[in-house]
Chains A and B, each alone.
Chain A
Amino acid sequence: MKLEGEENKIKWADYQKEIADDHFFYVRSCIRQSLYPGSEQFFLNLLGNILKKDIYENPSHTTCTGIGYHGDVVPFSTIQTVVARHYALMKESGYKNIAISCVTSFGIYTEILETWKHFPEELEKTREYLFKATGREFDIPENVSHTSDIIYKFKDEIASMAKYRLVDKETGEPLKGVEHIGCHYAKIFPKYGVGGAEFPQVLSGMITTWGGEVVDYPERRHCCGFGFRQYLVQANRGYSLSNSITKFESMKPYKPDFILTNCPGCNMFMDKWQYTVKEMNGNTYGQDGNAIPVLTYEELAGLVLGVDPWDLGLQFHAVQSEPLLDKMGIEYSKEDKYKTIDGRQMGVPAKILNV
């Protein structure tokens, strides 16, 4: 595959979106702040303290209700009003650029903005609903970026500060990364994703800039199988799982060192399903019988910048990252893995992979 370089006839410039440079209004993800809290924590730290950008989050921000919307329990007018409320919070806080942590939310924010463009009566209705319910008013944001867009924008700055590269310390070979993009990042509106829908560049750009190599495998563009309705009913989960396995089997021959995702659901499922498959039939898809660590882009940026893996929350994954850390030559303390910041011992999970 030729995604970059002179040989490449494709002009990715067609799919370069505008990503704000500073002054971000941050909205969190339901799944990420519960399951991978280190990622969002580090994003705020990276933007605010390392890159010295202005980033703000409002304590009154709530879920976007996207899971309910895609699970057929939240009507469209309701979710429009919830999203409008977030825009109102942004206006009240004096911000115009929204930075969205979740791909589902990102899809919803953009879907609603597009709806308002094409159906102005929906916008008027929403203004009315929000005002009646809360007395709030809102503006349309100037810039809508997913947080992976923002890291993509600053990938070169991150590379210039890097302590580690995505390179095998022993062999000097680039590490192989599988990138997986959430469906709602660019499949709804290819023009709002860096690189479009078929060959998105947002994560592959990070991997190559930080020294790694991107694996292109046949099922690369496919859904992880989350599917909201499919996952929410227990008896249907085999369907989600089977889709993830289709991807794992397709990537296995390439011997990937890690999977990089930009979607909360994908990250959760690609991580946890590896545990499930192993329990169900003993299969693993990484090297040497290991599972493949699944990282968020903040976690990967953090590792590259030399942040302690346990401060990034890598121990909260089902698939542990030690094989990757060892390859990159990252130092870490085995004792501190399950210690709180003030040194107290946390519970140690009984069933995790790669240890």
Chain B
Amino acid sequence: MNKEVIVIGAGAAGMESAGQLANEGFSVKIFEKDESPGGHLKGWYHLFPNRRDSVEVMDYLLDVIDRKEIELLTNTTVTKVSKKDGKFVVTTTQNKEYNADAIIVTTGFDLFRSERKEEYGYGIYDNVITSAELEKMFRNGNLRCTDGRIPQKVGFIHCVGSRDEKVGNFYCSKLCCVSAVKQAIEIREHVPESNVFCFYMDIRMGGSGYEELYRESQQKYGVNYIRGKVSEVAENYEGKLVLKVEDTLVGKPLKMEFDMLVLMVGMEMSESGKELAVNSGLLTGENRFFAPADHHFGSNKGNVDGIFYAGACTATMNLTETLAHARSAVDDVVDYFRRKK
């Protein structure tokens, strides 16, 4: 067929769809704004729910794109896609232009910037960290407070930047709950004598194997769960973090001290995705992610025929869903060229 397809973003969705495109016989260019492919997966330690090392998935994806039909251009941010006479022109920050017959946008998500939830003191108090930072600590085998102590009491604050009108995000980020459960287990494994508490509004265990992991965290690891959205965090004289919350099931306000607090940061439409949307006339939804053409039948399609979406640039999505979404985008590309004949 010898059609050229450009994939924008070399995260999990981009890499998987590039591999599938190559399988279908297209020649593929992937543009990646970072210096290496992998996206958020690069920063992750173990994956939920089966706690597989993320390196295994990373190796699989690197293998997927390691073929002659696929050209990877790193340190290259795409700013605009325009359509002319049924063909596409992709513009990068270096002001270079590339032609393509179809586009798959896989610009993914950015993590919520925790300093926006000021009352949690991220960036102000030592030892208030994000879930992403905790993954790096696990990866480096260096789970410690800033003064070098091993944390004995760790709290997880769910829904940071999700389900929160005050930061403009109405939606649920979907995978923070199960991430917290996984990370709570890992804290208990790293520091067996530690106490771990999760503060949640609802525990959302909608994926396969999630509820089982939640149960395991209680049965095997003694993780504690308190139902209440944390109101604020402060630091006391001993340098411990003091958290305030309502224990809604008891019906009383509660104070508790921690060595370390982990903010379960949610997902937002990526900045590069937003720029691309504005410059290219791609529609976005109320949640700021790319708006799919149809919730059920067109989740890979948008408002421009020939530009397809895959992964977390359309909605919060876990890795399993992202990889499946990437493959279904390729189906839509194949169908697009068939229709055009």
Contacts and interface: CB of A to CB of B under 8 A. Distances in A.
Interface of A: 1-3, 8-11, 196-199, 216-221, 250, 253-254
A254 B237 CA distance: 7
Interface string B221-250: 000000000001011110000100000000
10 contacts: A2-B124, A9-B123, A11-B115, A198-B119, A199-B124, A216-B234, A218-B234, A218-B235, A221-B234, A250-B236
A217 B237 contact: yes
B115 A216 contact: no
A220 B115 contact: no
Q: Is the interface of A mostly helix, strand, loop or mixed?
A: loop
Contacts of B200: none
B189 interface: no
B118 A1 contact: no
B123, B234, B236 — most chain A CB neighbours (10 Å): B234
Contacts, number: 45
A218 B124 contact: no
A46 B296 CA distance: 68
A216 B232 contact: no
A123 to B, nearest CB: 27
A296 B118 CA distance: 26
B234 to A, nearest CB: 4
B115 A10 contact: yes
Nearest to B122: A9
CB-CB nearest 10 A-B residue pairs = A9-B123, A253-B237, A198-B118, A218-B234, A218-B242, A10-B123, A218-B236, A198-B119, A10-B115, A1-B124
Given A10-B124, A198-B118, A221 B235 contact: no
Given A10-B115, A196-B118, A198-B118, A2 B237 contact: no
B125 interface: yes
Contact of A219 (B118, B126, B234): B234
Given A9-B115, A198-B118, A199-B118, A221 B232 contact: yes
A93 B235 CA distance: 48
Nearest to B234: A218
B237 A8 contact: no
A221 B119 CA distance: 10
Contacts of A196: 118
Given A10-B115, A199-B118, A218-B242, A3 B124 contact: yes
A1 B237 contact: no
A8 B242 contact: no
Contacts of A8: 123-124
